């Protein structure tokens, strides 16, 4: 019954997967599960089934607390999951118990952003994979830890970033070789390629960044072609296409034009389906700005100014920060547009 309430809570409100969007109902289900677990622990505190159910419940409670921004609460539940999982692993040497322990370490590491705890999870995942070579779930788990280690590596040009994400890419490609038509695995590889591209970009390796991002865009294009109704896949394709254009623009604005126009068309198609997510709003603002510069360079100042004005309007709606890499700010666009109009007026 505890497990049933825990699963119900996941279906009702865990935003990391398909859910019913019923956050309050999910909290009520979790509360009932915790109350039942406490009764179960009172009569069978060290039973393997009790411990396994406790781990699942605490991990789910941690996940939902983290999604709601309650990090301290999430960490508390995650530590309870680890405690129960460690007791379970001591009483059983089964691969299921080891996997439960690794998953618990992963949950705690995700909340606390702990490299050390991620590596504890990685050690167990790698041991399981060594004993079960070719196991897709174990391979995916190892890859996922490497992705998280890459995201935690400090410093823009830290070689660990590229090393860790490259390991993840190799593992995901290994899975793709066994199930080449699986959309989830295709997207995993596409995302890995975009992260490899960004790692190269931050190291100043523009050519390698463009090559990897181009491969990512090609994979995402196939995914969109396979499911024309998937707005999320379309958004991901538009984002990757715009990022590819931005990388090319730093080498040559003219070389980026084709990808800029493709990105603009993709975002227009996306807007017909759903409101643009905030990151996409910022990216489209920069796409319009660069297209405006191209028109201006060709002597079509009116068209260029119109695109810059569109960019400024989009940037005004963007709630994120201008990091200069794949977004722009309204203030910078307005300043550039004023400069263009001022020069035009003087002429």
Mean pLDDT calculated for residue range 89-108: 95
Q: Which residue has the higher pLDDT, 319 or 94?
A: 94
- pLDDT score at 85: 95
Residues contacting residue 200 through CB under 8 Å, at least 6 positions apart: 162, 206, 208, 209, 212
Token digits of residue 193: 């390629």
Give which of 257, 212, 267, 193 is closest to 234, Cα–Cα. 267
Whether residue 23 is predicted with pLDDT greater than 60 in this model: the reply is no
Q: Is 317 in a helix, a strand, or coil?
A: helix
Q: According to the model, what pLDDT value does residue 333 have?
A: 66
Question: What is the reported pLDDT for 319?
Answer: 81
Among 96-110, 116-130, 177-191, 267-281, where is mean pLDDT lowest?
Answer: 267-281
8-17, 29-38, 67-76, 222-231 — which is least confidently predicted? 8-17
**Opening angle at CA 168, ends 166 and 169, nearest 5:** 65
By the 10 Å C-beta count (0-12 exposed, 13-18 middle, 19+ buried), 277 is classed as middle
On whether the CB atoms of residues 290 and 245 are closer than 8 A, the answer is yes
Neighbours of 40 (CB within 10 A): 17
**Those residues with Cβ within 8 angstroms of residue 294's Cβ, 6 or more apart along the chain or in another chain:** 253, 254, 257, 260, 304
pLDDT at residue 62, as a whole number: 87
Cβ pair 185, 168 in contact under 8 A: no
CA distance 104 to 54: 11
Structure tokens, 288: 């319009």
127 confidence band (pLDDT: 50, 70, 90): very high
Average pLDDT value for residue range 73-95: 93
Is 89:101 a contact under the CB 8 Å cutoff?
yes
Residue 347 pLDDT > 50, yes or no? no
* pLDDT reported for residue 14: 43
Which residues contact residue 245 at a Cβ distance below 8 angstroms, ignoring those fewer than 6 apart? Answer: 256, 259, 260, 262, 263, 287, 290
Give how far the C-alpha of residue 41 lies from the chain's centroid of Cα atoms, to the nearest Å. Answer: 37
Higher pLDDT, 317 or 164: 164
pLDDT for position 49: 78
User: Is this model's pTM higher than 0.85 or not?
Assistant: no
- Residue 321's pLDDT band, with cuts at 50, 70 and 90, is low
153 and 160 Cβ atoms separated by less than 8 Å: yes
pLDDT tens-digit readout, 284-310: 989 999 999 999 999 999 999 999 889
């Amino acid at each position: 019954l505890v497990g049933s309430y825990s699963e119900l809570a996941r279906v009702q409100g865990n935003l990391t997967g398909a859910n019913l969007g019923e956050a309050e109902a999910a909290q009520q289900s979790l509360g009932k599960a915790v109350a039942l677990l406490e009764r179960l622990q009172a009569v069978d505190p060290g039973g393997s089934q009790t411990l396994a159910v406790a781990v699942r419940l605490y991990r789910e409670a941690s996940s939902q607390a983290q999604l709601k921004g309650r990090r301290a609460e999430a960490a508390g539940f995650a530590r309870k999951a680890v405690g129960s999982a460690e007791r379970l692993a001591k009483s059983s040497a089964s691969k299921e118990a080891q996997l439960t322990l690794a998953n618990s370490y992963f949950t705690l590491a995700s909340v606390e952003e702990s490299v050390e705890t991620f590596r504890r999870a990685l050690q167990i995942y790698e041991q399981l994979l060594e004993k079960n070579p070719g196991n897709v779930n174990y391979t995916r788990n190892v890859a996922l830890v490497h992705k998280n280690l890459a995201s935690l590596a400090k410093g823009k040009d830290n070689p660990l970033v590229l090393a860790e994400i490259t390991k993840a890419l190799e593992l995901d490609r290994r899975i793709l070789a066994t199930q080449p038509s699986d959309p989830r695995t295709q997207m995993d590889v596409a995302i890995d390629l975009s992260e490899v591209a960004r790692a190269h970009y931050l190291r100043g390796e523009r050519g390698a960044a463009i090559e990897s991002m181009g491969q990512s865009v090609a994979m995402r294009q196939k995914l969109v072609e396979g499911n024309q109704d998937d707005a999320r896949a379309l958004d991901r394709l538009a984002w990757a296409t715009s990022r590819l254009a931005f990388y090319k623009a730093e080498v040559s604005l003219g070389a980026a034009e084709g990808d800029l126009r493709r990105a603009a068309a993709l975002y227009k198609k996306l807007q017909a389906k759903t409101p643009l997510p905030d990151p996409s709003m910022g990216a489209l603002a920069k796409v319009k700005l660069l297209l405006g510069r191209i028109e201006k360079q060709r002597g079509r100042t009116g068209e260029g100014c119109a695109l810059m004005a569109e960019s400024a309007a989009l940037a005004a709606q963007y709630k994120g920060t201008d990091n200069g890499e794949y977004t722009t700010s309204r203030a910078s666009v307005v300043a550039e547009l004023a400069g263009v109009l001022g020069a035009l007026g003087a002429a």
